[in-house]
Amino acid sequence: MKLQGHKPPVPWHMFILYLVMSTLVIFGGYLYYQYRKKGLLSENQKELSAIADLKIRQITQWRFERLGNARFLEDDRQAIGLLTDFLEKNGSKETRNDIFLLFKSLTDNFDYKQVMLLDTTGLVIFSYPDTANFVGSYPGILIDRVLNDSKIIMTDLHYTRQDSTSHSDLLIPVIANDHDNPYVRGIIDLVIDPSKVLYPLIQTWPSPSKSAETLIIRKDGNEVTFLNSLRYKKTTILELTLPLNESKLPAAMAVRGISGTIDGIDYRGVPVVATMKKIPGTSWYMVTKIDRDEIFSTLNRQMRMVLVILILFLIALGMFLGFLSWNQRARYYREKYEDELERLALVKHFDYILKYANDIIFLVDKDLRIIEANDHALETYQYSRVEFIGMKLGDIRAEQTLAELSEQISYVEKHESATFETFHKKKDGTVFPVEISSRLVNIEGVKYYQTIGRDITERKLAEDSLKTSEERFRKIFEESPFCMLISTKNFEIVRANDAFCKMTGYDESELRMITFKKFTHHDHLPGDDLGLLKLVAGEIPVYQTEKRYIRKDGSIVWGATTVSIIRNNEGEVLYFLVMVEDITKRKAAELAFENSYSLLKATLESTADGILVVDNEGKIVEYNRKFSEMWNVPANILDSGMDSEALAFVADQLRDSDSFVRNVERLYSDPEAVTYDLLEFNDGRYYERYSQPQKINGVTVGRVWSFRDITLSKNAEAEIIKSKEKAEESDRLKTAFLHNISHEIRTPMNAIIGFSNLLSEPGLDASEHNQYIEILNQSSNQLLSIINDIVDIANIESGQVRTNYSTININEALKNLGEQYSYQNRELKLPIYFHPGLPDKDSVLSTDRTKLIQILSNLINNALKFTVTGQIDFGYTVKENFLEFFVKDTGIGISEEHLQKIFHRFYQVDGAGSRQYGGTGLGLSICKAYVELMGGNIRVESEKDKGSVFLFTIPFTNI
């Protein structure tokens, strides 16, 4: 890995950015500092000037006050008189005392430390306090001027050695007014103590300041003298003098006449800002000053803070930019490292490819000598490395291609690269086709030809094979009896073979002008779209359909169409290959078949017979709806197709299932048999069954069963037989009735005719006459009864009988009936008993009295007729909402076989031939009709030779 020489770019931009930012920050700070400094200076200068003015005003004021004091004293006549007096007469003790008081008052109340009275010679003649008795040299000089000018003089400050203090003297002439001739008699010397008022006034500073100071100076020759005590120098007042030519000394400058505010260096040698002014009326100059350091101390402190912050900021900025730069460098090195790794991997990979590449790779120098080759090249050309390296390019060329070599080399020279096919030869002389890709490369200034070759023997073979198969396909396509067509994916026709052209009636050039859809019947277009989509999507390998094509002449042909896809190597659709088989004839046959099949199906379904078709193996081939309805066979059994299951299901429904199953089995073993039989069902149905074999070309393939429901006709037949029997019975009954009726009518009629004739015979006695009349009467009644019965039955038959309800007490009515019968039959010795079912009071009901009595009468008559010994009981019982009446006898009884028939019209147990009892056979049928008319029913219980009981009901509602 070589990283040397790949220095990361110096981050100049960061560096410059840092410099610019730092400069800006520093310069900005500096400017700000200067601006603040200037402002502060200006502020302080103004302040110094104002303070100087203030102090000058105060000093001037103080001076005026002092002079005012002096003038006041000068003009104070009393005091002057006192002093003159003392001067002239040396004064009395009182005078002395007064002066003492005056002087004391002056020193006490003003800033005078001593008041002296001088005579005109300058001698002190009185002093308060009495500390010194001579005047100093400084005022001494001025005494003459005071005496001469008679004016008040205030001396400058001066130093007194005696008391080591400084002071100023205020010399006031004591003027005596003697006859308007004033003259000076003496001098008052007010010794002003500057430390009392003046110096404090000078030294006080209106604002707190460490270094501010006011100086009062004056010029003394070539020097300046500081008049007040100094803040920073412990010297005696008026002792400090400095040369006048000190150029930077504000005091000297002030004395030199410079006023205003300046920067200077004070008596300590410290830079100060000072204001210099002249104090008017004096020889003094005032300097107010303050140390520069103090002015700027706060600013400097702030600026130091700001500087620290700025430095920290710049350090932080530097670190940040440094970090960015470091990061950049780190990334640069990392990327370089990764690039290097990648490069090494690539180199390795490239070496690997070179070594194991499946292509021939060699390097040829400008003399066309092979100088490097990969393993595959050696393998292909069958040379060892030693042999191969150094061979000329022409040595591995097939002879027939040598001529092209120089031309190809110059092409590479010109274009730097070339790809071409040629033939090379191996060591054993085998010539093989090769595809060469040659490139001119420059390695350290020397030209080489890098050649990559590929043995294309197989490809050539494949191409040949492809060519052959294409040729074959073309032949198949063109000569195929099937209609074939190739279209683009947009259905534009590319090729169509002769068969296709023939089928559609278009020639190939016409087909190329149209698309596939043009001659597809529109019914098939949606289906085609879907199918082709699936085909393109790869869901189906081929799309097959049967569809109609519209020929050029408009006629229709059916084609079984198969569409497959020709795709390129990327799987994209190139073409559709369509193969069509003309199936028009088959379609017509299918249609005919469909027709006959549907006809058969419709016939099957429309027939009233159930039809089942099975094959030789007993599998259900076909059945109609009627069959499943008739046999109630579940659809799943029928659809399963197993005849055996259907057979088991239907056999259970038959009366003789065994014989049915046997029959079917027999028919399976005899496929040719044509059979018919009748099936009788458990539930009374009757089916006719026909069966015959199904044949195709004379060969039995199955059996057709048909079933016909003949239950109705069977029942009708039975009905007819029954009706016939009934009619015969009726006929017989009528014959018997006629026989009976003729007998029954003839009997009373004979009696009537016979006894009527006897009545007309003479000689009849009364009893005979009565007897005959009685017989006539009875016979008439009998005849009437017969006729009544006939009329009643006729009415019943014609439906003219109506009920006629009325309220009756049945106990009463039935008791009467019983008594009536007992009386009529008294001779028979056959007792009749009535048995009421209700107490008399409850036995009232609404009913058809006539019919009830007639029913009971009929029954009692019968009981009497068929009973010889025993008794007759009749009555009723209550059974829920009905009354059940009974008539019971001990007569001949009725055998079982006749029990139901006796209620039929004209029926009599003993037939016409063996008549023992009279009657028409109508009574019970009238009873039955009446009972049913009234809402009840009638029955009989009887035992032969034991007796009978007739019972009937009628509805009962208690009233």
The H-assigned helical ranges of 357-456 are: 375-381, 385-388, 402-415
Residues 521-580 that bind ligand ADP (CB under 6 A): none
* Token reading at 259: 């006023």
Residues 656-685 that bind ligand ADP (CB under 6 A): none
Q: Is 908 among the residues that bind ligand ADP (CB under 6 A)?
A: yes
- 577, 566 Cβ separation under 8 angstroms: yes
CB of 921 to ligand ADP, least distance (A): 4
Q: Which residues contact 312 (CB under 8 A, 6 or more apart)?
A: none
CA distance 184 to 173: 6
State which H helix or E strand residue 548 sits in. Answer: strand 543-550
Q: Is 948 among the residues that bind ligand ADP (CB under 6 A)?
A: yes
- 615, 621 Cβ separation under 8 angstroms: yes
Distances (CA, A) of 387 to 373, 394, 897: 11, 14, 138
CA distance 14 to 12: 5
Q: Which is nearer to ligand ADP, 387 or 910 (CB)?
A: 910
Residues 856-895 that bind ligand ADP (CB under 6 A): 862-863, 866, 889, 891-892, 894
Q: Which is nearer to ligand ADP, 434 or 733 (CB)?
A: 733
CB of 939 to ligand ADP, least distance (A): 13
Quick note: the x/- pattern for ligand ADP over 321-360, rule CB under 6 A, is ----------------------------------------
Q: Is 920 among the residues that bind ligand ADP (CB under 6 A)?
A: yes
Burial of 96 (0-12, 13-18, 19+ CB in 10 A): middle
- 70, 79 Cβ separation under 8 angstroms: no
Cis, bond preceding 9 (omega within 30 deg of 0):
no
Per CB under 6 A, the segment of 640-648, 679-687, 818-826, 918-926 that binds ligand ADP is 918-926
Distances (CA, A) of 290 to 43, 227, 275: 12, 18, 9
Could you identify the residue written with the tokens 């900021």? 313
Per CB under 6 A, the segment of 223-231, 433-441, 702-710, 919-927 that binds ligand ADP is 919-927
CA distance 753 to 59: 207
CB of 800 to ligand ADP, least distance (A): 20
* Token reading at 243: 């040369």
Selected binder of ligand ADP within 249, 360, 909, 934 (CB under 6 A): 909
Specify which residues 160 forms β-bridges with: 165
The H-assigned helical ranges of 357-394 are: 375-381, 385-388
Q: What are phi and psi of 147, to 5 degrees?
A: -65, -45
- 48, 261 Cβ separation under 8 angstroms: yes
| Strand bridging mode 241-243 / 370-373 | unpaired
Q: Is 786 among the residues that bind ligand ADP (CB under 6 A)?
A: no
CB of 721 to ligand ADP, least distance (A): 26
Per CB under 6 A, the segment of 9-17, 583-591, 704-712, 908-916 that binds ligand ADP is 908-916
Number of C-alpha atoms within 13 angstroms, CB side, residue 62? 23
CB of 670 to ligand ADP, least distance (A): 59
Helix axes 77-89, 93-109, angle to 10 degrees: 130
Q: Which residues contact 149 (CB under 8 A, 6 or more apart)?
A: none
CB of 774 to ligand ADP, least distance (A): 23
CA distance 619 to 925: 61
Q: Is 691 among the residues that bind ligand ADP (CB under 6 A)?
A: no
Amino acid at 26: I
Q: Which is nearer to ligand ADP, 136 or 893 (CB)?
A: 893
Q: Is 582 among the residues that bind ligand ADP (CB under 6 A)?
A: no
Selected binder of ligand ADP within 91, 264, 818, 923 (CB under 6 A): 923
Q: Where are the beta strands (DSSP E) in 384-477?
A: 417-425, 431-443, 446-455
CB of 737 to ligand ADP, least distance (A): 10
- 308, 57 Cβ separation under 8 angstroms: no
CB of 833 to ligand ADP, least distance (A): 16
Q: How many residues bind ligand ADP (CB under 6 A)?
A: 19
CB of 882 to ligand ADP, least distance (A): 22
Question: Please, which contacts does 657-663 make with residues 24 or more away whose CB atoms are closer than 8 Å?
Answer: none
Q: Which is nearer to ligand ADP, 428 or 897 (CB)?
A: 897
Specify which residues 557 forms β-bridges with: 549
CB count within 10 Å of CB 209 equals 15
Specify which residues 950 forms β-bridges with: 887, 940
CB of 826 to ligand ADP, least distance (A): 20
Could you identify the residue written with the tokens 């088959």? 586
Per CB under 6 A, the segment of 52-60, 282-290, 325-333, 900-908 that binds ligand ADP is 900-908
Per CB under 6 A, the segment of 14-22, 381-389, 392-400, 906-914 that binds ligand ADP is 906-914
CB of 829 to ligand ADP, least distance (A): 18
Q: Is 362 among the residues that bind ligand ADP (CB under 6 A)?
A: no
The residue number whose beta carbon is nearest to ligand ADP equals: 919
Per CB under 6 A, the segment of 300-308, 773-781, 875-883, 922-930 that binds ligand ADP is 922-930
Q: Which is nearer to ligand ADP, 380 or 920 (CB)?
A: 920
Q: Is 919 among the residues that bind ligand ADP (CB under 6 A)?
A: yes
Q: Is 748 among the residues that bind ligand ADP (CB under 6 A)?
A: no
Selected binder of ligand ADP within 922, 929, 931, 938 (CB under 6 A): 922
Selected binder of ligand ADP within 51, 80, 238, 902 (CB under 6 A): 902
CB of 676 to ligand ADP, least distance (A): 48
CA distance 159 to 195: 13
CB of 843 to ligand ADP, least distance (A): 25
Binding site for ligand ADP (CB under 6 A): 862-863, 866, 889, 891-892, 894, 902, 907-910, 919-924, 948
